[in-house]
Amino acid sequence: MEMNKEWIKNPEIFKMNRDDPKASLKYYKNKEEMEHEKSSFKILLNGVWKFEYAESLEKSNDEFFKVDYDCTTWNDINVPGHLQLQGYGKPMYVNQIYPWSASEEIIPGEIPLHNPVGHYVKYIDINDEMLKNDIKICFHGVESAFALWINGKFVGYSEDSFTPSTFDISQYVKAGKNKIAVQVYRFSSGSWLEDQDFWRFSGIFRDVELLLVPLTHLDDLKVITKLNDDYTKAVVHLDLDIIGQNSDSEITVSLYDKKQLIASETVEQTGKQKLHFCVDQPQLWSSENPHLYQIIIEITENGKTIEVVQQNVGIREFQIIDGLMCINGKRIVFHGVNRHEFSPRTGRVISYEETKKDLLIMKESNINALRTSHYPNQAFVYDLCDELGLYVIDEVNLETHGTWSEFFDREHILPNNNLKWLDNILDRANSMYERDKNHPSILIWSLGNESYGGEVIYQESQFLRKKDQTRLIHYEGIFYDRSYPDTSDIESQMYTPAVDVEKFITEHPEKPFILCEYAHAMGNSNGALYKYTDLEKKYPLYQGGFIWDFVDQALEDKDGILRYGGDFKDRPSDYDFCGNGIVFADRTLTPKMQEVKYCYQYIHMDIDEDNIRITNNNLFTNLNKYTFFIQLFQAGQLVEEITQIIDLEPENSYLLKNPFTVEDRATQYHILITVKDQNNHAVAHEQFIYECHKKEEYAHLDITIVEDYLNIGIIGENFQAKFSKAKGLTSYKVNDEEMIRVMPRPNFFRASTNNDVENKYGYRYSQWLPASLYAKIKFMKVIKDKQKCQIYFEYQLPNLGDETVNLVYTIFGDGEIVLDMDYQPNEKYIEMPAFGMMFQLYKEYNHVEYFGFGPEENYIDRNSGAILGKYNYDVKDNMTKYLYPQECGNRTNVQAIKISNGKHDLYIRGNVEFSALPYTPFEIENARHIDELPNIYQTVLCIYEKQMGIAGDNTWGAKTHDEFLLSNKDKHYLHFSLKGR
Ligand code: GAL
Ligand code: MG
């Protein structure tokens, strides 16, 4: 048979001569190999291949696979790798639309004319020893379709970018040099099913392996575990498929718990075999205790080992009990994230080490679940989830978002009821299922993402249900078309605000509810996350959600800067919509993680003056494996610490007497409880802040006031302040050091966050921008005293009513300046985004120490995870490296700030929010990328009574929740003091 290019555009042809998918098993030649995890059966063909690129199918090379076609002069390319990151075409980022949008008008099934083709060639040596085996080749991921030739002969064709394609090539290979030739098509009919919101690439982007298969061989294995009613007895069922005829072979199957043998059986026949082992008092697998047993299957021939297979087994039960999803009999709550496999240098080519790092970050951040959005990940991801303990929703590589948006011709919705696509989609589901079926971590199969409803996906659900009764089926897309409501076992929604979730679950108790995506973490986001995690405590039916998403999909440019869509001159683009991670592309944690980790913690503590109520929300873990550090702080200084072990069974509460008594109300006291594991890693915390009525005291020292028609000077010991009557504070000199660079002024504007941009913040709040830039002093007055001087300014705001902003500076004899600013808003106008003052200081004032909420940036709707304490930062580092520069670096509940140039310090006292950044909000507003910001020339200190919350339910319109806005009815007051030294 020859390759037929018509297949590429025919949705009914998606494979040719490809092997049926099998469980991803670890094969070794003998036990030594197994011990060292090094298999001689597997020869990695990664590395340098020869490569030729063609702009289109028409221009593709149809001779290159021939044995005597010389490819040695071709360029080199790396496998695995995307073509677009190796100089062929450019990386393109689009969300819903198909990449050919605005270039070619085609309907589902058709493929664009601009369809670049990659020609890959690799020569490999095969020896006689190898030829004693069957020989297969496995491509773990090729986007979007490819054809394979070995030694000039056509072997096969395959689609589905994200599952392995294995071909038996025994009949094509020979001893000596062999030519492997692969033609990769950027677009195929399958591309219509791969419209995920991600970077659009093509090429061989996952491992390629040559597999040596002994003639007697475990071809497939299926493991399922069953438990009795009280989980004290388990049965491990094995379905083995052994191929080969040799009558001298013996197959020994053993079950181990670590090194200890539990049971063993020998089979003397090949073919399909069923076995089971009983385990008494099994250690159950869960994310809290990911205990794994091992199955080892050894095939011998005439007493000699020829193949050893190792398979981890987790004994667990996942099912719906009384309407709720339960793991080992207990109601599960998913503290999940969605994750794209993505690395800033290599795109979706991501190594085991990088992956492990991601999953460890999840574990450390109290994340217990992963949705492999939106395709089956590399096989080792699931091994790691089994080992580390992460619940997985494994998702079929299917998304047709661009076919059913409201602007698209409804008749072309894919797949809907169009049975022409059924086999293609079942094949995708099957490849995922068969490869991944033995992983205890996978609890749920997801039928795909955003592919509408209809019969085809319903059939897909039935297909998987029939194959697997030990897991549940998830599909969110029926939200848009409920014609086949049984498609999903779970009610799954995306981005539903917490109040609407509450309403839905009270009206629809039929299915357990999850949010497969929520809390859109784009830029400075994740406001009011706690509203969702509060729901899980109130409503059993709400079983958690998966944050969108784990890591920014940003690509590092040659200059080291992280870039987003459009930056590679790729158009159309959805620009920085690819950056929604709670982790930055370089894997440093974003400040959002502070909140996520807190909201996701499993130990809940309620502290008041008398008691500490501790609730253990783990399902299987006694708290006695942790240590509680209970600390009392006075004005931020630790004064007492008690450590305690608390023996508390899962799902139980305990009332502990508050060990501290605090009577002094003139100093700020607070309690912090930190719960740590054996590695000193904090797993949970809670704080309690005592009420405090600090008395403000000011100096009684004489001052000198010098006034003329333009300026006023206030002179005291070691300081002098100067005001321009028309413009404000022009100078504050302490110990001969001038601290004011630009006159401070009221500020009401914050640079737009991504959420702001999309909820039309700029448009809605527009008058507050000129109000901040162009407020005008309308009136001023001076009140002189022997020991203090008060200077009033009244500011008039453009485009607003007559209400003035009143700012009073009170200068005391020791140089302390108290600022009082108030404003009575007019209900006719939208509330201010922020109410505060901006100081533009000399850039040498670049180090900040403060007592307030931290350590990471926080906002009134994202500060539950923040901890009251003393922190410090360098101003340049406070510019959070969001892909798109935006409001950042704020701290709430701040009582004291010191900003220093190394020699001199400016002290601020008050009860404020603040940020110190190298840029003004206006400069930040003007920049679309980090490198568009000016060189640092100043320190911008903003001190706010309050700034509105940052929102986060989604980044396509969701606004800051009402309670986190500034009032436009009540009067606003800002009160703090400055003192230089
Ligand atoms: C969802 C989609 C994700 C992503 C997200 C927005 O609708 O499933 O893939 O596009 O929105 O960032
Ligand atoms: Mg989508």
Q: Whose CA is nearest to atom 9 of ligand 1?
A: 197
pLDDT of residue 809: 98
Residue 520 Cα: closest atom of ligand 1: 12
| Farthest-apart Cα atoms in the chain, separation | 112
- DSSP letter for 709, please: S
- The number of the ligand 1 atom at minimal distance from the alpha carbon of 450 is 8
Q: Which position has the token pair 């109040």?
A: 499
Question: In 10 A of CB 647, how many CB atoms?
Answer: 8
Which atom of ligand 1 is nearest the CA belonging to 956? 6
Residues above pLDDT 90, as percent of the chain: 97
Helix count (H) and strand count (E) of the chain? 14, 60
Pocket test for ligand 1, best of 94, 95, 526 (most atoms within 8 A of CB): 95
Question: Do 20 and 161 form a contact (C-beta atoms < 8 A)?
Answer: no
What is the gyration radius of the CA atoms in the chain, in angstroms? 32
HSE, side-chain direction, 13 A CA sphere, residue 634: 11
Q: What is the mean pLDDT of residues 708-730?
A: 97
- Separation CA 415–CA 417 (nearest Å): 6
Residue 247 has pLDDT above 80, yes or no: no
Read off the pLDDT band of 248 (50, 70, 90): confident
Instruction: Tell me phi and psi for residue 4, to 5 degrees.
Output: -120, 115
Does residue 409 have a pLDDT over 80?
no
Number of the ligand closest to the Cα of 400: 2
- Torsion of the alpha carbons at 190, 196, 201 and 206, rounded to the nearest 10: -80
- CB 505: neighbour CB atoms within 10 A? 20
What are the structure tokens assigned to 333, written together? 């709550």
Q: Which residue's C-alpha comes closest to atom 4 of ligand 1?
A: 197
Query: Mean pLDDT over residues 331-357, rounded?
Result: 98
User: Cβ(580) to ligand 1 under 6 A?
Assistant: yes
The residue length of the chain stands at 981
* Tokens at 632, concatenated: 């009392």
pLDDT of amino acid 408: 64
Q: Is 449 in the pocket of ligand 1 (CB under 6 A)?
A: yes
Residue 440 CA to ligand 2 center (angstroms) comes to 28
Residue 722 or residue 407, greater confidence: 722
d(CA 222, CA 229): 23
Distance (Å, whole) CA 832 – CA 968 = 7
Tokens of 873: 């930062």
**Rounded average pLDDT over 279-294:** 98
When pLDDT is cut at 50, 70 and 90, the band that residue 852 belongs to is: very high
Residue 410 has a pLDDT of: 79
* Catalytic-labelled residue, pool 450, 476, 595, 887: 450
Residue 585 has pLDDT above 90, yes or no: yes
Pocket test for ligand 1, best of 375, 517, 580, 758 (most atoms within 8 A of CB): 517
State the distance from the centre of ligand 2 to the C-alpha of 452, rounded, in angstroms. Answer: 11
Cα–Cα nearest to 384, from 307, 327, 436: 436
pTM: 0.98
CA of 406 to the centre of ligand 2 (A): 13
* Ligand 1 proximity of 450 Cβ (cutoff 6 Å): yes
Name the active-site residue from 341, 395, 460, 517.
517
pLDDT of 406 strictly over 70:
no
514 Cα: distance to centroid of ligand 2 (angstroms):
18
State in Å: Cα 458 to ligand 1 middle: 22
**Predicted confidence (pLDDT) at residue 582 exceeds the cutoff of 80:** yes
Confidence of residue 269 (pLDDT cuts 50, 70, 90): confident
The answer, yes or no, to whether the previous bond of 572 is cis (omega within 30 of 0) is yes
Cα 97 to ligand 2 centre (Å): 9
**pLDDT attached to residue 407:** 59
Residue 196 alpha carbon to ligand 1 centre in Å: 8
What is the spatial distance between Cα 312 and Cα 272, in angstroms, rounded to a whole number?
Answer: 21
- Pocket test of ligand 1: the residue of 93, 195, 197 to mutate, having most ligand atoms within 8 Å of its CB, is 197
What is residue 268's predicted lDDT score, i.e. its pLDDT?
A: 86
Give the per-residue pLDDT at 694: 87
494 CA to centre of ligand 1 in angstroms: 9
Residue 191 backbone dihedrals phi, psi, to 5 degrees: -60, -25
pLDDT at 525 over 90: yes
Whole-number Å distance, alpha carbon 863 to ligand 1 midpoint, is: 25
Q: Is the CB of 517 under 6 A from ligand 1?
A: yes
Ligand at minimal distance from the CA of 374 is: 1
Closest ligand to residue 578's CA: 1
Number of other residues whose CB lies within 10 A of the CB of residue 476: 23
Q: Which residues pair with 655 in a beta bridge?
A: 613
Ligand nearest to the CA of 550: 1
Position 190 pLDDT exceeds 80: yes
Measured CA to CA, the distance from residue 352 to residue 207 in angstroms comes to 12
Q: Which atom of ligand 1 is nearest to the CA of 577?
A: 12
Determine the distance from the C-alpha atom of residue 163 to the mean position of all C-alpha atoms in its chain, rounded to a whole number. 23
Q: Give me the chain's average pLDDT, please.
A: 97
User: pLDDT tens digit string along 749-786?
Assistant: 999 999 999 999 999 999 999 999 999 999 999 999 99
Give the per-residue pLDDT at 945: 98
Q: Is the model's pLDDT at 313 over the cut of 80? A: yes
**Ligand 1, atom 3, residue with closest C-alpha:** 197
Protein residue with its CA nearest to atom 10 in ligand 1: 197
Q: Please state the three-class secondary structure of 351-372 as a single string.
A: CHHHHHHHHHHHHHCCCCEEEC
Ligand 1 pocket residue status of 823, Cβ below 6 Å = no
517 is catalytic: yes
Coil, strand or helix at 421 = helix
Which of the ligands is closest to the CA of residue 956? 1
Atom index in ligand 1 nearest the CA of residue 198 equals: 9
Nearest CA to ligand 1 atom 2: 197
Lowest mean pLDDT among 244-248, 265-269, 338-342, 557-561: 244-248
